[in-house]
Chains A and B, each alone.
Chain A
Amino acid sequence: GESVGLHLPTLSVQEGDNSIINCAYSNSASDYFIWYKQESGKGPQFIIDIRSNMDKRQGQRVTVLLNKTVKHLSLQIAATQPGDSAVYFCAENIGSNTGKLIFGQGTTLQVKP
């Protein structure tokens, strides 16, 4: 079955450093991947997405990398700020015509001042 997993449950970084959050997926037919950020007590918020025909996509201070060979994607956050502290989820759209978005278990990012 499909599964989306994150390598580390918790990541602690120093303010100003770059953060890298990793995610592995198992469904080679998946064609669309999304990163979400969830702050305490709130619903997840969309950060950035990437389609399977791309290797890299950049946003504001964030970059998503997709390696289809090893079924791995990562979220890079540049110059991490205290406001980046949250739980980060990768999600996999297992079929663009199914509407099924499958989430990983999440990585907690802690930013130390």
Chain B
Amino acid sequence: NAGVTQTPKFQVLKTGQSMTLQCAQDMNHEYMSWYRQDPGMGLRLIHYSVGAGITDQGEVPNGYNVSRSTTEDFPLRLLSAAPSQTSVYFCASSYVGLARVNTGELFFGEGSRLTVL
């Protein structure tokens, strides 16, 4: 059971380049989300999804796009990278109950460290 898998683990981009951070989970979780973690800032929610075909914005969505075509995958796209997007990115998933309520017990991936020059 792999849990939540993120790729790549490390990436260096130049300003203006685009890229996609991949996230896959094998726990059949309906809820998936992306966070970024900066020093002294904790984790900030970028986008989340409560099921295939459904996405919504978090606290810091600007500069990022997501899609959810399958239950297993939730890629995060940077359309035009900026130095301010240098961060560690975490994907997380959890079970959603019958009321489509996230339980809060998130399972996190190992993180993707992105540097934008």
Contact = CB atoms under 8 A, between A and B. Distances in A.
The answer to whether A and B interact is: yes
B104 interface: yes
A100 B46 CA distance: 10
Nearest to B109: A43
A104 B37 CA distance: 11
A25 to B, nearest CB: 13
Interface in B83-107: 90, 92, 99-102, 104-107
B40 interface: yes
Given A34-B105, A49-B105, A91-B104, A99 B50 contact: yes
30 contacts: A32-B104, A34-B104, A36-B106, A41-B110, A41-B111, A43-B92, A43-B108, A44-B43, A44-B90, A44-B106, A44-B108, A46-B105, A46-B107, A49-B104, A49-B105, A93-B102, A93-B104, A96-B99, A97-B100, A99-B33, A99-B50, A99-B102, A100-B48, A100-B59, A101-B45, A101-B102, A101-B106, A102-B59, A103-B43, A105-B40
